[in-house]
Chains A and B, each alone.
Chain A
Amino acid sequence: MPEITREEVAHLARLSRLALDDAELDGLAAQLDVILAAVAQISQVTDAADVPPTTHAVPLENVTRPDVVRPSLRREDVLAGAPAAEDGRFRVPRILDDSA
């Protein structure tokens, strides 16, 4: 039983807006399967040792900042990193297909 199927990789690629051809899907599915199998080995150990799942490397809680305004970036600098800009805004390609 593989850790991830080719169909799942294709689904994730679509959600991530990645255009993968058949050969890439085959290759990536095999590679991701190896990676996930390695991670699964860790799960076996932690399950046996009854280690609770964690999402953070350090056991911190309630890290907050006060509600104080700090300076933003200059707009020229913000838009300088954009592939395209217009009227002070980020210009993005058409969002919906016309067939939609």
Chain B
Amino acid sequence: MTVPYDQALSEFEAVIGLETHVELGTAAKMFCGCDTSFGAEPNTHTCPVCLGLPGALPVVNAQAIESTIRIGLALHCDIAAWCRFARKNYFYPDMPKNFQTSQYDEPLCTGGYLDVDVPGEDGTPEVVRVPIERVHLEEDTGKSLHVGGATGRIHGASHSLVDYNRAGIPLVEIVTRPVVGTGPRAAEVARAYVAELRDVLRGLGVSDVRMEQGSLRCDVNVSLNRPGQPWGTRSETKNVNSLRSVERAVRSEVERQAARLRDGERIVQETRHFHEDTGLSTPGRSKEEATDYRYFPEPDLAPVAPDPAWVAELRAALPDPPSVRRKRLTAELGLSARDSAAMVNAGVLDLVLATVEAGAPAAEARNMWLGPLAQAANTRGVEAADLPVAPAQVARVVELVSSGALTAGLARQVVDGVLAGEGEPDDVVAGRGLAVVSDEGALGEAVDAALAAQPAVAEKVRAGKVQAVGALVGAVMKATRGQADAPVVRRLLLERLGVEG
């Protein structure tokens, strides 16, 4: 049983909290020199340090410290003058060391905030300030493949197979303080926060923030209380890996908890797992068995003491925050307010701007994101930003079109290929054989075939009805699966028919 979201939030107040994990885009891992590239053969990016072999000595990646401090500064945090790493001890096969190197009571950054725009009741944007508790640095875990149960589920599996390529990749955890007073917009605020945070991180260039590849992941905490009453018991929903899911996870949890509370039942403090397919969560392991991590300071690593002068330099060199950058770029590009609003509504403004920054003209960037890519996002039921394509790749497709290497139709196929995981745009062009055919010899055969197949049309054109040639061009395009250079085809047809274009 659930209570509809709007009704639930008219009876109860929601307190939400978000823990976001971000894989940093360093070349090497956090404590060793192993490659961090995504998609390598399993266990080919491992070494004695990240496998936790005896005698290995971890050393901190300087770039990861710098990136974390920059994230903290962008979120208006205080940067610790001195802090340490800690061992978080637990036995689970995703960490070969039986502990995760993390930070405990001495995080690198503390106490900041992020302002996010949320549509108010009359539709105009309102700023909601989300308080940040801490930003700390740790390492990612390995990836498990569960065998023998229902498709990939850990429940009922006979055994698991582990790949440690991801183990030891620098991971930044950004934790909000409890966010209160969001009224009927708890889910919208949660989503807007993650979206804005992602834009901040992208602007800093510290991570590729690809939610679908797991480089940005969210845990969502929700509790409900009646107005004037103390906060309720919270649940923590894990596995929330798209913007849309952040919103859905909050909504479904508000609806579930409201129904229980209405019936006079208690909320159990637990970890819940979010399922992308249904938008619902199911209970995971109960909290009471898990929380004794016996943290202690990591003896193999020296403390981190950022030089205040260096921190000041990093602060001075921060890029504009996304809100300022958006305003500046929309002004520079001469985008109309209506255009900007359309792009904001489709969730593509930042993507368009990033595509422009990657070299594409504004109009083409806009057309790609509001056209084929918005459609693809719609078909897949995800945000455009969650599509597995980067602005730089879109810019490359635009470049291929403007250089004449691709037609608009072919560009669409290249985009489809990139979305299907066939690699970079140039890989897709080569892999699918999508180059525009403008070679007159190669086109001649199709041109002759079209003329032979439609003698009546050919006669019309000869008689002076030049626009009828369109049907013949169409036939050639079809025969060449859209790869022919249409102006060249038209010229060849008219030449053969002895007509002046």
Q: Which residues of A contact B (CB under 8 A)?
A: 11, 15-17, 55-56, 60-73, 75, 78-79, 81, 86-96, 98, 100
Cβ-defined partner of B294 (8 Å) among A15, A66, A92, A100: A15
Cross-interface CB contact of A75 among B27, B43, B84, B306, cutoff 8 Å = B43
Q: In the complex, what's the smallest C-beta–C-beta distance from B161 to chain A, in angstroms?
A: 4
Q: Return 29 A-B CB contacts under 8 Å, by A number.
A: A15-B91, A55-B84, A60-B303, A62-B305, A63-B60, A63-B301, A64-B59, A65-B62, A67-B27, A67-B28, A67-B64, A68-B27, A69-B27, A69-B28, A69-B33, A70-B32, A70-B47, A72-B34, A72-B46, A86-B161, A89-B163, A90-B161, A91-B160, A92-B93, A93-B159, A94-B159, A94-B160, A95-B160, A98-B155
Contacts of A94 in B (CB 8 A): 157-160
A23 CB, nearest partner CB in chain B, Å: 24
Q: Are B59 and A63 in contact (CB under 8 A)?
A: yes
Majority-rule SS of A interface residues: loop
**Given B33, B82, B305, which contacts A65 in the complex, CB threshold below 8 Å?**
B33
CB distance from B20 to the nearest CB of A (A): 22
List, in ascending order, chain B residues with CB within 8 A of A60's CB.
302-303
Do B93 and A90 touch across chains, with their CB atoms under 8 A apart?
yes
Measured CB to CB, the closest approach of chain A to B307, in angstroms, equals: 8
Q: How many residues of B contact A (CB 8 A)?
A: 58
Task: Chain A residues near B35: list those with CB within 8 A.
Answer: 69, 72
Contact with A along B290-302 (1 / 0, CB 8 A): 0010101111011
Residues of B close to A100: CB separation below 8 A: 155, 285
Task: Give CA–CA (A55, B86) in the complex, Å.
Answer: 10
Centre residue among A61, A67, A73, A81 by max chain B CB count within 10 A: A67
CB atoms of A73 and B302 under 8 A apart: no
Q: Is the interface of B mostly helix, strand, loop or mixed?
A: loop
- Shortest distance between the CB of B451 and any CB in chain A (Å): 56
Interface membership of B377, Cβ < 8 A: no
Nearest residue, chain B, Cβ from A55? B297
Q: Which residues of A contact B158 (CB under 8 A)?
A: 94
A72-B45 in contact given A62-B302, A95-B92 (Cβ < 8 Å): yes
Q: A75-B43, A90-B161, A95-B157 are in contact. List 12 more A-B contacts (CB 8 A).
A: A62-B304, A62-B305, A66-B62, A72-B44, A73-B46, A89-B161, A89-B163, A90-B96, A90-B164, A94-B160, A95-B93, A95-B154
Partner of B43, one of A15, A65, A69, A88: A88
Q: In the complex, how many angstroms separate the beta carbon of B44 from the nearest chain A beta carbon?
A: 5
Residues of A within 8 A of B64 (CB): 67
| Residues of A contacting B145 in the complex (Cβ-Cβ under 8 angstroms) | 89
Counting chain A CB atoms within 10 Å of each CB, which of B43, B158, B161 scores highest? Answer: B43
Closest to A84 in B: B159
Closest to B293 in A: A15
Q: Which residues of B contact A71 (CB under 8 A)?
A: 33
Q: How far is the CA of A55 from the CA of B144 in the complex (A)?
A: 33
Closest partner residue, chain A, to B53 (CB atom): A81
CB < 8 Å neighbour of B63 from A66, A78, A91:
A66
Contact B91 A16 (CB under 8 A): yes
Return the chain B residue nearest A74 by Cβ: B44
Most B CB within 10 A of own CB, among A63, A66, A68, A78:
A78
The answer on a CB contact under 8 Å between A69 and B59 is: no
Q: How far is the CB of B129 from chain A (nearest CB, A)?
A: 33
Residues of B within 8 A of A55 (CB): 84, 296-299
Q: Which of B65, B144, B155, B161 contacts A87 (CB 8 A)?
A: B161
- Return chain B residues, CB-CB under 8 Å to A98: 155-156
Cβ distance B80 to chain A, nearest Cβ, rounded Å = 12
Contact of B159 among A16, A62, A68, A91 (CB under 8 A): A91
Contact B161 A91 (CB under 8 A): yes
Question: A67 contacts B62, CB within 8 Å?
Answer: yes
The 6 closest A-B pairs by CB, nearest first: A70-B33, A67-B63, A89-B161, A64-B62, A55-B297, A63-B302
State whether B305 touches A61 (Cβ < 8 A). yes
Nearest CB of chain A from residue B310's CB, rounded to whole Å: 10
- Chain B residues, CB < 8 A from A56: 299, 302-303
In the complex, residue of chain A having the shortest beta-carbon distance to the beta carbon of B163 = A89
A68 touches B294 (CB 8 A): no
B146 contacts across to A, CB distance below 8 A? 95
Q: Which residues of B contact A78 (CB under 8 A)?
A: 43, 46, 51
